[in-house]
A and B are shown apart, each in its own frame.
Chain A
Amino acid sequence: MLEANDTDALVAALLDSCCEQVLETMFFAPVLEPADPASSSGAARVDTRLTFEGKPSGAFEVDADPGVARTMAANFLGVEESEVNEQQVDEVLAEFTNMTCGSALSSLGCVEYFHLATPRTSRPVEFAPSINGVRRAFLLENGTLGVCLRVDLDGM
């Protein structure tokens, strides 16, 4: 049976791999280097979170520099940043949240099935993480992107 530290290390590696793959394949935004996940606390961010039910259940959160979120939206939609409105930024960050969480869960060997709830986006002036899980952060061209995954393995 996996110990908690082993599970956290596995989830961290999966988040690194899945984020990098999703960002490069669908957002044309390469990860430049790892970043400090704590650095986004207290800063203005675009924050998207979702919960999932199944075996296992849990939660996933993405926080992005507003500039990063806008660049991701423009790249995803194939338009100039000046053409992207706030609703599109929210929709695209929700897509990133959905597919990165789903990709990570699909790669986690112990997952039997899951259902992702609809992501919710907010724009806190002073961001504070809303879930307690494995956090990772990445430096992209215009700033940083953070992710956090909590997997509730109890009862599995």
Chain B
Amino acid sequence: MALKILIVDDSPAMRAFVRRVMRLSGIEVEQYMEAGNGVEALAALESSGVDVVLTDINMPVMDGEDFVRRLRGSDRMQAMPIIVISTDATTHRIQTLLSLGANGYLQKPFGPEQLRNEVERILGVNHA
């Protein structure tokens, strides 16, 4: 099954890196959507659903914590799988995001294998 992925990060370079690593992971992607912050991501999701959201935390306008909180508060999007990608691996931060409703947490640095494992884990599928 090819996936529709939303990448939320204020850095165009990081969004390009995630697309590249996704390609290297072997996961088949039907469509990438991109957003530079939580507000843009919510707007994008209003018009089109996705299979997985990959989101940064530290972003302007609306950060990752607020974005996850809003998604989980939405009737239509509350079950959407979310993986947080962050350099911050403190217990405080991870527990906060998971308690808000994130399904997975991927710490930078990461490579294709870690990304693939996390996507497959939260979707409960194998894309080999």
Contacts of B90 in A (CB 8 A): 105-106, 111-114
A22–B17 Cα gap in the complex (Å)?
A: 13
Q: Which of A22, A26, A78, A115 contacts B58 (CB 8 A)?
A: A115
Most buried by A among B12, B13, B14, B110: B13
Q: Which of A73, A78, A91, A103 contacts B87 (CB 8 A)?
A: A103
Q: State the interface size on chain B (CB cutoff 8 A).
A: 20
Q: Bound complex: CA of A91 vs CA of B16, how far in Å?
A: 11
Evaluate contact between A76 and B17: CB separation under 8 angstroms: yes
Which residue of B13, B58, B86 is within 8 Å of A77 (Cβ)? Answer: B13
Closest-CB distance, B112 to chain A (whole angstroms): 10
Complex interface: chain B residues within 8 A of A77 (CB)? 13, 16-17, 20
Tell me if B11 and A91 are in contact (CB < 8 A).
Answer: yes
Is A94's CB under 8 angstroms from B11's CB? yes
| Distance from A107 Cβ to chain B, minimum over Cβ atoms (Å) | 8
CB distance from B34 to the nearest CB of A (A): 14
CA–CA, A91 to B93, complex, Å? 24
| Interface size grouping (class) on chain A | 20 to 34
**What 1/0 flags go to A45-66 for Cβ under 8 Å of B?**
0000000000000000000000
Q: How far is the CA of A93 from the CA of B90 in the complex (A)?
A: 23
Interface flag for A95 (CB, 8 Å): yes
| Interface residue? B88 (CB, 8 A) | yes
Whether a CB of chain B sits under 8 angstroms from the CB of A41 is no
Measured between beta carbons, the chain A residues less than 8 angstroms from B87 are 98-99, 101-103, 106, 116
B88:A102 contact, CB within 8 angstroms: yes
Does B107 make an interface contact (CB < 8 A)? yes
Q: A98 — which chain B residues lie within 8 A by C-beta?
A: 58, 87
Could you say which residues of chain B place their CB within 8 Å of the CB of A99? 87, 108-109
Provide the B24-47 mask, 1 if CB < 8 A to any CB of A, else 0. Answer: 000000000000000000000000
B89 at the binding interface (Cβ < 8 Å)? yes
Q: In whole Å, how far is A36's beta carbon from the nearest beta carbon of chain B?
A: 25
Cross-chain contact A103 with B13 (CB below 8 angstroms):
no
Q: Does B49 contact A (CB under 8 A)?
A: no
Of all chain B residues, the one with the shortest Cβ separation from A117 is B58
Is A25 an interface residue, CB under 8 A from the partner? yes
Cα–Cα, bound, A99→B14 (Å): 11
Q: Which of A85-111 contact B (CB under 8 A)?
A: 88, 91-92, 94-95, 98-99, 101-103, 105-107, 111
- 25 example contacts (A-B, Cβ-Cβ < 8 A) are as follows A25-B111, A26-B17, A77-B13, A77-B16, A78-B16, A78-B17, A94-B11, A95-B14, A98-B58, A101-B87, A102-B87, A102-B89, A103-B89, A103-B108, A103-B109, A105-B90, A106-B87, A106-B89, A107-B89, A111-B90, A112-B90, A113-B90, A113-B92, A116-B87, A116-B88
